[in-house]
């Protein structure tokens, strides 16, 4: 089970195993293996920490990669499937396409043959079919679906309907039957990271990114941008490469447009004459978006629990 934070991985794990064994709604820090009998099969699920939805992979917590690799190696000797959680309550833009690809690069090119896109938040589909949704979402999501050999499944983690899990297991079995299991060997293509032309600067930036990441994780939990900004003079040294920036004008993205508008306001509010302020603004913008995604999900959750839906 992989995907960005708050994409419903832990909830999906619980849903599939029909037990509250993963901590949904909390940040998953370490992989967690749980198993159970589902529809007569022994199912083992590895829950993993998520990456950010908006930040480039370079800002991940330091042990995210090693945790995912651990999960892969623990599953290597049995038929396995990688479920990539993609929540349906939010858009999958070109930015998410890049972040997803970036975050999965270290698993090598072969990984995509073993992925099923697990659309979580199935309740957000409303009356639409998933095919209509994929059609209306535009190129980035279609790219993902094609990349995964058109394998996908919708899961509403709040619904008790049994057939959604049965169908998922059938799709997983079908995939495993026509495909070997996923494992990483030493002969695998070394995972080429992004272009490293400015090696020295890059190293310096990497150290800085590490410090920022640590801070970021604290702030993600605490939600206090002001302190983050005050304690982070180091941010001024970090530069975002072009490839890591948010795409401009991706097709049909209302969310994107809304955020661009908000971004402009931030820029106006904070027109400091400081060399780092541009980067600071970018950091702030990304963090704000991570938070607002989290809030939107919590709102859905409270509405469901207390709103009598
Ligand atoms: N509406 C809705 N909310 C969900 C669904 N799955 C998960 N959530 C909520 O999304 C939030 C994040 O879920 P979680 O399982 O922790 O995601 P993770 O970070 O990917 O493990 C939690 O508040 C869940 O209650 C779903 O299918 N529908
Ligand atoms: Mg989780």
Give the chain's mean pLDDT.
77
pLDDT tens, residue by residue, 63-80? 899 999 999 999 888 889
Highest mean pLDDT among 106-110, 186-190, 245-249: 106-110
The token duo for 94 is 């070109």
Give the Cα separation of 205 and 96 in Å (integer).
23
Residue whose CA lies nearest to ligand 1 atom number 26: 121
Whole-number Å distance, alpha carbon 24 to ligand 2 midpoint, is: 5
- Torsion sign over Cα 93, 192, 182, 27: negative
pLDDT for position 244 = 40
Helices (H), 57-138: 64-75, 94-104, 130-137
pLDDT for position 277 = 64
pLDDT for position 170 = 96
pLDDT for position 232 = 45
Whether 86 is in the pocket of ligand 1, judged by its Cβ within 6 Å, is no
pLDDT: is 12 or 229 the higher one?
12
Max CA separation in the chain (angstroms): 65
pLDDT for position 18 = 94
Highest mean pLDDT among 147-161, 195-209, 226-240: 147-161
CB 99 within 8 A of CB 243: no
Whole-number Å distance, alpha carbon 24 to ligand 1 midpoint, is: 6
What residue ranges of the chain are covered by domains with CATH 3.40.50.300? 2-177
Q: Mutation test of ligand 1: which of 3, 5, 11, 130 has the most ligand atoms closer than 8 Å to its C-beta?
A: 11
Give the Cα separation of 106 and 91 in Å (integer).
24
Ligand nearest to the CA of 51: 1
Whole-number Å distance, alpha carbon 163 to ligand 2 midpoint, is: 23
Least confident of 88-102, 139-153, 243-257: 243-257
Report CA Rg, the chain: 20
Ligand nearest to the CA of 2: 1
- Torsion sign over Cα 118, 123, 124, 125: positive
pLDDT tens, residue by residue, 258-307? 333 333 333 333 334 454 667 767 777 777 777 777 767 766 666 666 66
pLDDT: is 179 or 93 the higher one?
93
Range 2-177: architecture per CATH: 3-Layer(aba) Sandwich (3.40)
Whether 48 is in the pocket of ligand 1, judged by its Cβ within 6 Å, is no
pLDDT: is 241 or 150 the higher one?
150
Whether 16 is in the pocket of ligand 1, judged by its Cβ within 6 Å, is no
Query: Is 141 strand, coil or helix?
Result: helix
Whole-number Å distance, alpha carbon 202 to ligand 1 midpoint, is: 35
Buried b (16+ CB within 10 A) or exposed e, 178-188: eeeebebeeee
pLDDT: is 297 or 142 the higher one?
142
29 backbone dihedrals φ, ψ, rounded to 5°: -100, -35
- Torsion sign over Cα 255, 256, 261, 263: positive
């Amino acid at each position: 089970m992989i995907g960005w934070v708050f994409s419903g991985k832990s909830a999906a794990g619980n849903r599939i195993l029909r037990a509250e064994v993963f901590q949904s709604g909390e940040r998953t820090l370490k992989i967690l293996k749980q198993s159970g009998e589902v529809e007569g099969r022994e199912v083992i699920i590895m829950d993993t920490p998520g990456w950010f939805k908006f930040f480039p992979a370079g800002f991940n917590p330091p042990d995210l990669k090693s945790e995912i690799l651990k999960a892969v190696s623990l599953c290597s000797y049995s038929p396995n499937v990688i479920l990539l959680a993609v929540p349906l309550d939010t858009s999958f833009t070109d930015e998410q396409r890049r972040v997803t690809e970036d975050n999965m690069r270290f698993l090598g090119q072969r990984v995509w043959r073993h992925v099923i896109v697990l659309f979580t938040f199935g309740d957000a589909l409303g009356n639409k079919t998933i095919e209509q949704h994929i059609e209306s979402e535009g190129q980035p999501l279609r790219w993902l679906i094609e990349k995964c050999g058109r394998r996908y499944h919708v899961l509403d983690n709040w619904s008790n309907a049994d057939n959604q899990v049965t169908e998922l297991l059938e799709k997983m079995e079908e995939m495993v039957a026509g495909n070997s299991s996923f494992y990483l060997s030493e002969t695998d293509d070394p995972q080429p990271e992004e272009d490293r032309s400015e090696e020295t600067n890059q190293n310096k930036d990497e150290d800085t990114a590490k410090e920022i990441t640590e801070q970021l994780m604290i702030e993600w939990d605490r939600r206090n941008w002001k302190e983050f900004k005050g304690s982070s003079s180091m941010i001024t040294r970090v530069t975002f490469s072009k490839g890591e920036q948010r795409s401009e004008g991706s097709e049909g993205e209302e969310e994107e447009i809304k955020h661009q508008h908000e971004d402009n306001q931030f820029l106006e509010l904070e027109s400091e004459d400081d060399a780092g302020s541009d980067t600071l603004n970018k950091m702030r913008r990304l963090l704000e978006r991570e938070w607002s995604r989290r809030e939107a999900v919590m709102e859905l959750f409270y509405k469901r629990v207390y709103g009598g839906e």
